Amino acid sequence: MKQSEHPVSQTYAKYINPSFIQLLGVLGYGRVFVRASDVWLWDSEGRRYLDCLAGFGSVNLGHNHPALIARLHQLLDEQVLHFCHTGPAAGAAALAEALAKRLAAPLEMSLFASSGAEAVEAGLKLARAATGRSDFVSCDGGFHGTTLGTLSVMGAERLRQPFEPLLAGCHRVPFGDLDALDRALKAHKPAAFLVEPLQAEGGVILPPPGYLRAAQELCRARGTLLVLDEIQTGLGRTGTLFAHEAEGFVPDVLCLAKALSGGLAAMSVAVTSRALFDKAYGGAGRFDLHSSTYQGNAFACAAALRTLELIDEEDLVARSARQGARLLDGLRARLRGHPLVKEVRGRGLLVGIEFGPTGSSWLGKLAPSLVDKVSEGMFGQWVAVRLLEAGILAQPASSRWNVLRLEPPLTISDEDIDTVVDAVGAILDDYRSIAPIVADVTRRAGAQWRGGWQY
């Protein structure tokens, strides 16, 4: 059976998103995944894949970690109260304490939610309530969620434009540009500067050294809060428990989600100082200005608390740094001098390969804009298709399709990293100029069209 004819694909197309299912068939990328364990996925045909996407950074522990599953079974057997709104919730209290112990002072007060976008919304609301200001500054290329509020500070115009007008008073500056940030802080007196420690969806872009620390100093001088979005970079992903630790500063608000609950529950949090929390929500008249039915529910909190323990017990932060260096160094060595690879960059186990003109091929010299256009439009996704067919799941950065992102679980082995490096290298050996890419993509798209977009 074609996987596009699988009942799951058919039902998904009928009741959720038909365009998504059709797009999976354009190049034959689609699969129906039915099982997952650690770094491995299996599709409905029994084929196995090495997961180098990890739920966009949600599965740092690996899929279905047995110790995490055991804890959740235990919790369900305990018949705890899962939603407690008329008294203190034990799970939320324990998790908030665990987070505070792992974060630098003064971060200690937690605002729990379910999704990353909600955590960002919580940070922005707190900034307005604590400062009495209304504007926000964020960065070009930033990705913070797709609710109306988070879209207002989104860096990708394609995602913003259909829903405008959004929140007024939202301004964007180039990522890594301190002068532009300083001008925006002076001109707009924003409540918050919202920024990622590195831009994952924006193309695995790292800021200049010292940027975030200097940005925090500028914000404090102007009375603006720095809200740091570590939804994709937190919990060991970049080789430190939190990415900002490597930058030598502490944000005013820290947003976490994705990997926080081990890939098994919906959980997010915005953590701030007691002083800022009191300004925003202190007192009997303000304590309930920010709330959510699912915030701090027992199941998600138990998953998050056990996830934090497993990160410590299995030394996954150090493992991320070590395995990330192996992946980055291996790719740089294997792809050195490739005429269509502009850069291999990253930190920890968040690595990007940027495709585009390097000037080392005759076409790159004569028509760099053509090479750029092909790279941006199809190269990253085509390499992802080829990798899938080689048994490796990966995707381009969502806002920059010319950057292939590799983001495996932190449990990935040396052997599996070497497999990824070899597979990427072998595929790119086939594409040392634009012509073979265009020919192969055209051939595949034509065949898929003739076959009714089946996969």
Report percent pLDDT > 70 for the chain. Answer: 96
Confidence of residue 84 (pLDDT cuts 50, 70, 90): confident
Residues 255-300: tens digit of each pLDDT: 999 999 999 999 999 999 999 999 999 988 899 889 888 999 999 9
CA dihedral 138, 143, 147, 152 (to 10 degrees): 30
Residues 21-40: tens digit of each pLDDT: 999 998 889 999 999 999 99
Of 281, 313, 345, the one marking the end of a domain is: 313
Instruction: Specify whether the CB–CB gap between 5 and 432 falls below 8 A.
Output: no
One domain for residues 131 and 223: yes
Confidence of residue 2 (pLDDT cuts 50, 70, 90): confident
Residue 319: count other Cβ atoms within 10 Å of its Cβ: 19
CA distance 218 to 212: 10
User: Could you give the number of structural domains in the chain?
Assistant: 2
Q: According to the model, what pLDDT value does residue 252 have?
A: 98
What CATH number is associated with residue 28? 3.90.1150.10
One domain for residues 391 and 431: yes
Query: First vs last Cα of the chain: how many Å apart?
Result: 10
Residues 158-183: tens digit of each pLDDT: 999 999 999 999 999 999 999 999 99
One domain for residues 289 and 320: no
Residues 375-434: tens digit of each pLDDT: 577 899 999 999 999 999 999 999 999 999 999 999 999 999 999 999 999 999 999 988
Q: According to the model, what pLDDT value does residue 369 have?
A: 67
Residues 338-371: tens digit of each pLDDT: 999 999 999 999 999 999 887 655 455 545 665 5
Which one has a higher pLDDT value, 375 or 62?
62
Q: Assign 3-class secondary structure to 290-349.
A: CCCCCCCCHHHHHHHHHHHHHHHHCCHHHHHHHHHHHHHHHHHHHHCCCCCEEEEEEECC
CA distance 434 to 414: 32
Residues 179-218: tens digit of each pLDDT: 999 999 999 999 999 999 999 999 999 999 999 999 999 9
One domain for residues 235 and 87: yes
What CATH number is associated with residue 141? 3.40.640.10
One domain for residues 214 and 104: yes
Residues 228-257: tens digit of each pLDDT: 999 999 999 999 999 999 999 999 999 999
Provide the mean pLDDT of the chain: 94
Of 313, 347, 363, the one marking the end of a domain is: 313
CB burial of residue 336 (10 Å; 0-12, 13-18, 19+): exposed
Of 288, 313, 338, the one marking the end of a domain is: 313
Confidence of residue 4 (pLDDT cuts 50, 70, 90): confident
Q: According to the model, what pLDDT value does residue 368 have?
A: 60
Q: Which backbone phi and psi does 337 adopt, to 5 degrees?
A: 85, 0
Residues in the chain: 455
Specify the DSSP element, H or E, that contains 229. Answer: strand 225-229
Domain housing 161: 66-313
One domain for residues 241 and 356: no
One domain for residues 244 and 320: no
304 is written with which tokens?
A: 């998050």
One domain for residues 90 and 37: no
The closest of 187, 182, 176 to 135, measured between CA atoms, is: 187
One domain for residues 131 and 229: yes
Give how far the C-alpha of residue 322 lies from the chain's centroid of Cα atoms, to the nearest Å: 20
Residue 46: count other Cβ atoms within 10 Å of its Cβ: 8
- What is the arithmetic mean of pLDDT over 110-124? 97
Q: According to the model, what pLDDT value does residue 371 have?
A: 56
CA distance 154 to 139: 8
One domain for residues 80 and 195: yes
One domain for residues 27 and 171: no
Q: Is residue 455 part of a domain?
A: no
One domain for residues 256 and 393: no
User: Is residue 141's pLDDT more than 90?
Assistant: yes
Q: Is residue 319 part of a domain?
A: yes
